[in-house]
Every structure is written in C-alpha cells, then in structure tokens.
Structure 1
Amino acid sequence: MRPMLLLPSLQVIPVLDLLGGHVVRAQRGERHAYRPIVSRLVAGSRPRDVAAALLARCPPPAGSDPVLYVAELDAIQGRAADTETLAALLAMDPALTLWVDAGFRDRASAQALRQALGRHAARLRPVYGSESLAGPDALAGLASDPQAILSLDCRHASPMDPAGAWTRPRAWPSTLVVMTLDRVGSGSGPDLATFARLRAMAPERTWIGAGGIRDGADLQAGAAAGAAGWLVASALHDGHIGTG
C-alpha cells in the first residue's frame, strides 16, 4: 500500500539512534534491548548509509535545510560520544544540521562536544534531555541560547527530570521536544495528551513531538495538536510514511 503523503504543515525529522557505531532500532526506551536496524530503506546499519536513506525518503520542506536528529546512546548512558561518526554525518552535506542528544549534563558538556567536532560544530544543535541534566543550575542560560533544544523526557507519564525542568517554563529555550520514551518504536500512537499539556505552558515556543508515530493519520493529529514537527524513525524504516 502506498504510504500517505506527509503534511506540509508538520516537518518530519528523521532520527538516528547510534549505539556502538551502528544505527539501532529503539524500542520503548529499553536500551538494553536495542539491536542494529533492519530497514526497508537500506541494507545494513552503517550510520552514513542509514542517514542518507532517511534523508532521501524524508526530504525537508521546500526552502529548508535538512535536519537529522541523533540520539548518541553511548554518551546518554555515560560513555564517550562517537565524535568520529558525528563528524562523518556532518560531512555528508554542508547544509545538514544535526540535533544531537549526547546526554548533556549542562551547557559545558555540550560545548565540549562542539569543540571536539571543530569546523563542523556550527551545524550541531545540542539537545538537552531532561533525563540527563545534572540539576536546576544546568537550565541556566538555555532560554537565551537560540541553538539550544530542551527535550522534556518521560516514561509511562512520569517525568524523567532531576533538574525540575518540567515545571520551569521561563527557563525553557525556544525549541522543545516532548519525548515519550515508552512510545518510541512501539507503534502505539503519539502521546498527544502530554504534548498538549506541556505546550499549553508555553504555546509561543516551537514544539516537536517524539514517539509513537504509525502513519499519516498520526502526523495529522500531531499537526492539529500544534506540533511544528515530529521525530520519526520506525515508521520511516517500515515504509508506513514518506514522500519518496
């Protein structure tokens, strides 16, 4: 069956989950169970190959540069970030921007990764996951940083939030992600209730959803809820959505 066309009002942002030098398939945030991706779009799990296939399947809106979201799972779990792979991804296309969650505890840790990437650093936007932020002080300065993205993470409707980010909308940057980990790779549909509740606290921000997208109908529901974009991986790999 032909996939439904993507809605022009909602940007689908393809996702790479990186672990041990491979792209893996995320499953409900249960990272011990992640295995190398098996995709209808591309053979193997090499990051550059998978990234190229996703971007070809899901090009950016007209007039926009390509964006790829990268969950650097080694770093999120406390190990060193794979800077070699991140640099190789950025080298694919001089217009490509990476939104990278590498388990940043604060702005200093994000700056350290950008310094390690050298000349490519300007095209990396750091994603600060609420599950990783060290504490309340780690939110300082995010609201004034136009490159910063804050991911409000939860699992089974419970915030993952040692820094108290969920209750401090004045500290939020201009771009936010609502990351419902138990919906990621689940095929159970997006968590629109949590998305709507958080967006109502700061509707003037740019809001991105994450997790649960199954098809074009879910994208339509996300757009109706006020999402500017949605992070998607499994539905692209399985051929359920795409413009290619």
Structure 2
Amino acid sequence: MQIIPAIDLRAGRVVRLKQGDYAQETRYEFDACALAADYADAGATWLHLVDLDGAKSGAFENLRVIEKIAAAERLAVQAGGGVRSEDDVQRLLDAGVARVVVGSVAVREPEKVEKWISRYGEDRLCIALDTRNENGVWRLPSAGWTQSEGATLDELAPRYANAGAKHLLCTDISRDGMLSGPNLDLYKHVQRIAPQLSLIASGGVRDLADVQALRTQDVGGVVLGRSLLEGKLTLAEAFSC
C-alpha cells in the first residue's frame, strides 16, 4: 500500500476544504514547495497535488507551484484539478507530473478518457471518482464537487476497469477534510464492483488505526491530507504499517 501525502492548492496557498465546500476553507501557513520537501525527507515517494482553483474553473491556476515541485525530482507527483482536454493532460505531463488525475471529465465524458488511457497507458492516468451517497446511490459530483451529474460510481468504476484503467482514486466527499475516518464500506463496495483497479482511498483518515484498517482491506494506496497538516498522524507512523 502506497502512503501518499496530499497538498491542496488555492491561490498558491496550502489549504483544506471541508466536504469539498469552497466556503469552508482552512489555510495553513506552509509553503507548498517546502512542505513537499519535508514529505520527501520523511520518506514519501509520491505526492498528491490538487489545484482546487482549477477543479472549479477548468483552468490551471496553480501550475507554477506544481511545476516547481515536480522539477525538484524528489517525489513522483500525481496532480489534477482542471483537466478537461487532452492538451491539459499533455501540459501536466510536460510539467513533470508522473500521473495525471482525471476527475470531472472522467464523469462527464468517459469515451474521451477511455481514449486517453489507450494513448498514454495505464500508469500515466488516475481516474478520480469522488462520490457522495444520495438515497443509497453513489453519485459523482463534478467541477470541484459543485455540480451534479447523472453518472454513478457503480456505472463508471467497472467501465473504466474494462477500458484498461489501473488506478482509481475514490473519495467519500462527506468525509473529506472531516477527520471522521475513512469509509471502509465504500471501498469494499468498489473492490467488489471493479476488482481489477488499484484503489487509492482518500477522505477522513485520522490516525494510525485508520491507515492500518485500510492496509488490512488491501487497498493500493491511501492519500493523507489534513491528518498530516495538523499533526494527528506522521508519515513515520503511517510507514510503520
């Protein structure tokens, strides 16, 4: 299981949102590049970067920071937020990103993203299906979780598995930034409907016990955000699993 620290960017600053709500932002007094270096020093090999401005607007608004972190070549970077076209995918790859995270467009235009999987290969793309349970159905909001879409998790996860995708990032929006624990039942469900995918769990991880629970469930990776920023968990503790 990969331990992947996360940095969410808004106007160049390190922030976290509660349940994806842009009105519920917490700012942290960290320089993003220095924080990435600290994570590398602590033993991380991957970093998850999110351009929150881009996720909402569809434009890369924090690309300079992403480029700088990637250029340091201390961490393999998976980054997303604002990817809408193949040009966007290529732009991030040209910026040094190892794996492009594709979210809103993966929900809205799966045919397009399936072609990207064929063109760039399974290891260069990560499908992000961030989900919210509505009356027992796992819905897939887009555009920084601000817009409702018709597609469901149960439709798209198996579809991408069959299309040759390898990496699936799945976030329970209701738990994101809340330190309320990961939704283990959700991840069991994803593993049932799309067992071919390497599942990266995200949202709600509080402490070492949560990391251990996810490892026991045999997920491919776990993204750690607020718990690291606020000292609830250290990377050394996470790696001890």
Normalised to the residue count of structure 2, the TM-score between the two structures is 0.80
The residue that corresponds to 1:91 in the other structure is 71
Question: Residue 192 and residue 106 in structure 1: after superposition, are their counterparts in 2 closer, same or farther (change >3 A)?
Answer: farther
Structure 1 distance, partners of 2:85, 2:125, is 11
Q: Distance in 2 between matches of 1:15 and 1:126?
A: 14
Runs (5+) with no aligned partner, structure 2 = 142-148
Aligned to 1:231: 223
CA distance in 1 between counterparts of 2:180 and 2:190 reads 20
Provide the C-alpha distance between the structure 1 equivalents of 2:105 and 2:202, rounded to a whole number of angstroms.
15
Structure 2 counterpart of 1:148: 125
Counterpart Cα distance in 1 of 2:78 and 2:86: 15
Partners of 1:172 and 1:196 in 2: CA distance: 21
Q: Which residue of 2 aligns with 1:138?
A: 112
Out of 55, 61, 70, which is 2:49 matched to?
70
What secondary structure is seen at the aligned counterpart in 1 of 2:130?
strand
Q: Secondary structure at the match of 1:203?
A: coil
For 1:48-67, list aligned pairs within 5 A. 48-57=33-42, 59-60=43-44, 66-67=45-46
Match of 2:169 in 1: 177
Instruction: Within 5 Å, give how 1:3-42 maps onto structure 2.
Output: 10-37=1-28
Alpha-carbon offset, residue 135 of structure 1: 1.9
Q: RMSD between aligned alpha carbons?
A: 2.3
TM-score, normalised by the number of residues in structure 1 = 0.79
Q: Secondary structure at the match of 2:108?
A: coil
Residue correspondences, number: 217
Partner Cα separation in structure 2 for residue 127 and residue 229 of structure 1: 14
Looking at both structures, which has the greater relative contact order when contacts are Cα pairs under 8 Å and sequence separation is at least 6?
Answer: 1
Q: Which residue does the alignment assign to 1:219?
A: 211
The CA deviation at 1:156 is 3.8
Q: Sort the Cα spacing of 1:232 and 1:218 in 2 relative to 1 into closer, same or farther, 3 A.
A: same
Q: Percent identity?
A: 25
Deviation at 1:90, TM superposition (A): 1.2
Q: Which AA in structure 2 matches 1:20?
A: A
Is the Cα–Cα contact under 8 Å of residues 71 and 100 in structure 1 kept in the other structure?
Answer: yes
Q: Which runs of 5+ in 1 are unaligned?
A: 1-9, 38-43, 61-65
Regions of 4+ moved over 6 Å: none
Corresponding letter in the other structure for 2:219: A
